[in-house]
Structure 1
Amino acid sequence: MPMRPEHCVTRNHIDVWHHKALPSGPGRVRLRTVLRGSLVPILVWIGVAAAAYVLHDPVVTAVLGGVFAVAFLVGFGLRRRAGHSVRCCAYGALGGVLDKSMAGL
């Protein structure tokens, strides 16, 4: 059963780092909000990629980018299969990858 458009892209579908940037109630979430709420994971991903580039080889950075892309595509595909909109899938997959990559921190 597909999602109704008014229920998509709500706080229930997007996990943002510690939920600090989300509005208090359900509502549409913009990409800027997802990115602002995910600053710590974004900085960690950029830091690890920069360290891998400087300390090892650019190929390691490319592999790391590939891992991120595969995780994003899997999350996007799972959300699309569940009937979410493309926008909800993109934001949810991005927020999910950033959130789950910081598990344990």
Structure 2
Amino acid sequence: MRPEHCVTRNHIAVWQERVLPSGPARITFGMVLRGSLLPILVWSGAACFAYFVYNPLVATVLGGLFTLSFIVGFALRRMAKHSVRCSVYGALGGALDKSMAGV
């Protein structure tokens, strides 16, 4: 895959499409985070709720699940010959996107 085409909207779909540029363009880390505000708030809220209501161990398990989904997404993208940057952005966007499936 050519490096100049790796980090484009064609390869990384963040949760809210409205923050993306209209055509193929390089995606910044800020765009990935801005497009994923709702999933980030849901993950953070669930971790805080679990920490205060149940136990810090439960919040750690939730963080581990998120980290595991990020690592799997990163590894799959690297095996598909994406760049490291594209893999990081895609794994973060993918983990947040897949966690909000059905919402």
With the length of structure 1 as denominator, give the TM-score of the two structures: 0.96
- The one-letter code matched in structure 2 to 1:71 is S
Residue identity over aligned pairs, in percent, reads 66
- The one-letter code matched in structure 1 to 2:68 is V
Q: How far, CA to CA, are the matches of 2:55 and 2:13 in structure 1?
A: 32
CA RMSD of aligned residues (A): 0.6
**How many equivalent residue pairs?**
103
Structure 1's unaligned 5+ residue stretches are none
- The one-letter code matched in structure 1 to 2:27 is V
Q: What residue is the counterpart of 2:51 in the other structure?
A: 53
Q: What residue is the counterpart of 1:18 in the other structure?
A: 16
- Deviation, structure 1 residue 78: 0.2
Q: Which has the higher contact order (CA 8 A, sep 6+)?
A: 1
- Deviation, structure 1 residue 18: 2.5
Paired residue for 1:75, among 73, 76, 84?
Answer: 73
Q: Which runs of structure 1 show a deviation greater than 3 angstroms over 4 or more consecutive aligned residues?
A: none
Q: What residue is the counterpart of 1:39 in the other structure?
A: 37
Is 3-12 or 82-91 further displaced after alignment?
Answer: 3-12
With the length of structure 2 as denominator, give the TM-score of the two structures: 0.98
- The one-letter code matched in structure 2 to 1:69 is T
Q: What residue is the counterpart of 1:93 in the other structure?
A: 91
